[in-house]
A = this chain, B = another copy of it.
Amino acid sequence: MGGDHGPSVTLPACAAFLAAHPRAHLLLVGRPEALASLPRGLDAQRCTVVPASEVVAMDDPVEVALRRKKDSSMRVAIAQVKDGAADAAVSAGNTGALMAIARYVLKTLEGIDRPAIATQIPNARGGATTMLDLGANVDCTAEHLLQFAVMGSALVAAGGRENPSVGLLNIGEEVIKGNDVIKRAGQLLREAAERGDLHFHGNVEGNDIFKGTTDIVVCDGFVGNVALKTSEGLAGMIGAFLREEFGRGWYARLVALLAWPVLMRFKRRLDHRRYNGAALLGLRGLVFKSHGSADAFAFEQALRRAYDAAEARLLERVRERIAHAAPLLAPVAADPNLTPNG
């Protein structure tokens, strides 16, 4: 039901997804009237409609989504994961509500204080950099950043890249003062690397995200959100300038026609829709978030990402990584001389 377009986008995406994944089965959660007539490809053998009487609006406050709309499509979908009826949930709805409901219904994994949002960003190496957190956590401790690094490593390894490198987002060495949280996170990440919990590259700067210096970039949610949205703004401006210059006068328009195949190849390389589908990590179940403005192609990518993650046992991988790193994640519990009250 979610996103800017609702079923008019999600249903065609589901049909395309099922056509490409013969073993997949979808639970379509939403208002029965919206799911009464399904497009071709979404027959009863491959799809089950799960009714939900309410819908979380894109601008609903978290409290409303969580406390008042107890039969929302979002909540019912996540409950399918909790009950074991679904291996993963995908939503294009309100991010804050999705995170809050997922956290409430599924709970966080042991050793994880706060779930994080991880997404892929295309990089100059032709691959993608996985970045987290992207807005779920605005004030982070060093331990939180370590948790993000561990979970991000599990996510990227599940995607087929074993032993992925982790970069800690920091600012230029020329800057006078470091940030204490970042310095301490660097220490923790070095310790984690020595223990074999993950592969720590060291500090990276903002430009390393698009360079693809590391497979994973870890930062707090405020910084991650600003970096991502700033990039979206810049990409939008550059695209608009390019269109304007190729539309300015008859000569430019003629050249644009001739350059069409070149410009389309260029556009395809930057197509952020291919990377749609952010993972909510640290929960006792798989939940993926599609961009609210996703079209059918983009939403299908989010479905694929969720499917691939379930196939690659992402949840177990996250659990295993966290268990391995447990002494660093919860140093108090690891020291028998220290108890929470002592």
Contact = CB atoms under 8 A, between A and B. Distances in A.
A262 B95 CA distance: 40
Interface stretch (A176-184, A307-315, A333-341): A176-184
A227 to B, nearest CB: 4
A226 B169 contact: yes
Contacts of A210: 230, 233-234, 236-237
Contacts of A240: 124
- What secondary structure prevails in chain A residues at the interface with B? helix
A138 B136 CA distance: 21
Tally of this chain's copies: 2
Chain A, interface size: which category? 35 or more
A270 B246 contact: no
Given A95-B172, A226-B219, A245-B262, A236 B124 contact: yes
Interface string A222-251: 110111111111111110111001101001
Contact of A175 (B135, B248, B266): B135
Given A245-B265, A245-B269, A174 B211 contact: no
A100 interface: yes
A137 B171 CA distance: 11
Which of A135, A209, A265, A266 has the most chain B CB atoms inside 10 A of its CB?
A: A266
Given A135-B175, A241-B266, 19 more contacts: A59-B173, A94-B174, A95-B175, A97-B174, A99-B176, A138-B171, A171-B222, A171-B229, A179-B222, A205-B226, A206-B226, A206-B228, A207-B230, A226-B226, A227-B227, A230-B230, A242-B266, A245-B263, A251-B262
